[in-house]
Structure 1
Amino acid sequence: MPKRKRAVVTQPQPPQMQKRMRRTKTICSCSSPRFTDNSAGSAFCWYEEDVWTEIAKYLDGKSLVMLATTCRWFHGLIMEGSIWKYACLRDLQVPAPLHVAFNWRKLYVSAFDGSHSYMFRQKEKHIDWMRIGAFSVESSEALLTERLSNPTKLPEEDTMQKMLEACGYCVLDNVKAGIWIADLQLVRCPVCELNTCDGTMQTLDARHIELFLSEGYQNGSWEYEIIGSHDVKKHVDGASGAIFDLKHLNDSPTSAVFNLKSWVGKPNDWQPKAIITLHSVAVNTNLQKNEGLQVKYQVMRAGAGGEVVSIRISQQLL
């Protein structure tokens, strides 16, 4: 028999390992603002001005500043005046004025940085304060009053002092139109110079939004002047003050100020209360038994004969 050839059985050799390719470029998510998926023709640009302008409408001032510090592109977008104008009007809840003398970013900072008039002058007299809000003045006339009742007719006396003494309110002209910010201030007695004096004075303090940015205010050349002062020498239930845009005195929203039951609190509630509408602001603090009040009206003008840029109505117990 022919010899059978031996079958040679060889062990299978392990497949040769492929060389691992070295990555030549690291992945960086910030290398491009453009993301493209596998779909043909689809692309999204992260840096779309219209998109981020719309997003910015939902951010407060602090968030806007934080976004602006992320990169140069966002800084250029967020510093755009239209964004700060929108944020300012949105947060103050007032309509846009016809004209402003400063950029809207500075106006926003001035309105929301926590500053008030007693931070710049008479710091030693200041005790506490409360931001009430903002209102709009469209006309050049304002009604100032210490009585929270709708006047049946406007005063006809020839001087503000006589108006106040006769009916407890007066008409102020040459008021600067635009956005006004109102605060309620509590300060020490201004009659004496003793810091230990326990006497206090309540002040409705309203100012035009541009006041703190104006050179005349910053250098101290604009000062407050008293336009009227008188004493109420009998018991008074509450210390009140109000400012109305005369043009809108009879508007429906303004009537809420005269609905005292809705906001002044119960007679034994001694906490200060305030109300603000689109064209008016008012404050009231219920008082315990007293012998009367001294009421003082002050204004600040933008220079001699200039427009009224700040108004104060103050009450102090006799």
Structure 2
Amino acid sequence: MPKRKQRTGAVKPQPLKTQKRMRRAKPICSCSSPRFTTGPAFCCYEQDVWTEIAKFLDGKSLVMLAATCRWFHALVMDGSIWKYLCLRDLQVPAPRHAASDWKKLYISSFNGSHSYMFRQQEKHIDWMRIGAFFLESSSALLTERLSAPLKFPKEESIQKMLESCGSCVLNNVKPGIWIADLQLVRCPVCELNTCDGTMQTLDARHIELFLSEGYQDGSWEYELIGIQDVKKHVEGASGAIFDVKHLNDSSPSAVFNLKSWVGKPNDWQPKAVITMHAVAVNTNLQKNDGLQVKYHVMRAGAGGEVVSIRISQQLL
């Protein structure tokens, strides 16, 4: 038999049924952070956050914030915020009890008011705010001397204390925060507005005094408790109030360090210093014949606690 001729030429390959198609590669994209859905989104009305923010503001800024909406008004009117501001700006510890609203206490402390705005306005010339101090006990030492150590008077009456050592102990003083001012008033001897005579007064009051009904209606008045005459030349008109409980602490030592706060001999401007438990003032004087020092107090009604103290110096 004749042999079959072999086929020549290209043979078309048959596709394999088992061949897999190549998967399309994913396109390269930028990296993105995952979304957190475990907690709620931040709310601009977070009470705790705004309470902390409010503690860094002053009273005027808080009032402006309260005027924006009802939510902020309710937040800002919280007493704890005003208490924090009051203690922060006065730099004193918190009292055990406060009978008045802290917002009102802050306003009465920083609205520029002083005791002569309510009484004897015609006698008032000028004033300056010294600061605040804290009376932890109910006894205060009043003196016109700024030399250490202070003699602790043991006489029975205040007048005898002043005559013996130039100081006196005042009992039944209302503990808590006290605000001190230095007042310059006209001579109380005459009634002439043109009188050149002046009198320096260390004026200290309990922080709640201006909000008390007895003070506002005028039923509480100042009473003179003692007079001290220094019939010789004095270098300066001075006055100080100390908490008896902390008289021997390190805090009052700043008062007796006169070089740190009293003006130089030719400086006639009044100077003052305040510590946690004491306050003092001094004004250098030119040549003189002495001073008359008067001590006034205001009580919360007959036999009540002492709520205000005044130590005044006038040239003889």
Q: What's the TM-score bracket when you normalise by the shorter of the two chains?
A: 0.7 to 0.9
2 CA distance for matches of 1:295 and 1:40? Answer: 73
Residue type at the aligned position of 1:203: T
Query: 2:24 corresponds to which residue?
Result: none
Residue type at the aligned position of 1:312: R
Conserved in 1, the CA contact under 8 Å of 2:201 and 2:310? yes
Out of 234, 237, 244, the position equivalent to 1:236 is: 234
Query: 2:85 corresponds to which residue?
Result: 87
Greater mean alpha carbon deviation, residues 263-272 or residues 133-142: 263-272
Query: 1:53 corresponds to which residue?
Result: 51
Out of 261, 265, 275, the position equivalent to 2:263 is: 265
Alignment of 1:60-75 (within 5 A): 60-75=58-73
1 CA distance for matches of 2:101 and 2:117? Answer: 23
1 CA distance for matches of 2:279 and 2:93? Answer: 16
Query: 2:143 corresponds to which residue?
Result: 145
Alignment of 1:1-318 (within 5 A): 39-41=35-37, 43-318=41-316
The number of residue pairs the alignment matches comes to: 281
For the residue of structure 2 that corresponds to 1:222, the secondary structure is coil
2 CA distance for matches of 1:249 and 1:165? Answer: 21
Query: 2:15 corresponds to which residue?
Result: none
2 CA distance for matches of 1:280 and 1:53? Answer: 33
CA-CA distance at 1:255 after TM superposition: 0.7
Post-superposition Cα deviations, 1:22-67, rounded to whole Å, max 9, x if no partner, equal: xxxxxxxxxxxxxxxx944261100000000000110001001110
CA-CA distance at 1:286 after TM superposition: 0.4
Unaligned runs of 5+ in 2: 1-33
2 CA distance for matches of 1:288 and 1:265? Answer: 13
For the residue of structure 1 that corresponds to 2:109, the secondary structure is helix
Post-superposition Cα deviations, 1:96-155, rounded to whole Å, max 9, x if no partner, equal: 000001110000001000000000000000000000000000000000000002345411
Greater mean alpha carbon deviation, residues 148-157 or residues 112-121: 148-157
2 CA distance for matches of 1:97 and 1:84? Answer: 14
Residue type at the aligned position of 1:188: R
CA-CA distance at 1:230 after TM superposition: 2.2
Post-superposition Cα deviations, 1:239-263, rounded to whole Å, max 9, x if no partner, equal: 0000000000111121110111111
CA-CA distance at 1:165 after TM superposition: 1.1
Residue type at the aligned position of 1:262: S
- Give the share of equivalent positions with the same residue, in percent: 83
2 CA distance for matches of 1:254 and 1:206? Answer: 17
Cα separation, partners in 2 of 1:152 and 1:300, compared to 1, 3 Å: closer
Residue type at the aligned position of 2:145: R
For the residue of structure 1 that corresponds to 2:194, the secondary structure is coil
CA-CA distance at 1:156 after TM superposition: 1.2
Query: 2:9 corresponds to which residue?
Result: none
For the residue of structure 2 that corresponds to 1:67, the secondary structure is helix
1 CA distance for matches of 2:238 and 2:155? Answer: 22
Residue type at the aligned position of 2:308: S
For the residue of structure 1 that corresponds to 2:153, the secondary structure is coil
2 CA distance for matches of 1:99 and 1:123? Answer: 32
Moved over 4 A (4+): none
Residue type at the aligned position of 1:95: P
Post-superposition Cα deviations, 1:185-230, rounded to whole Å, max 9, x if no partner, equal: 0000011111111000000000000000000000000000000012
Q: CA RMSD in A?
A: 1.0
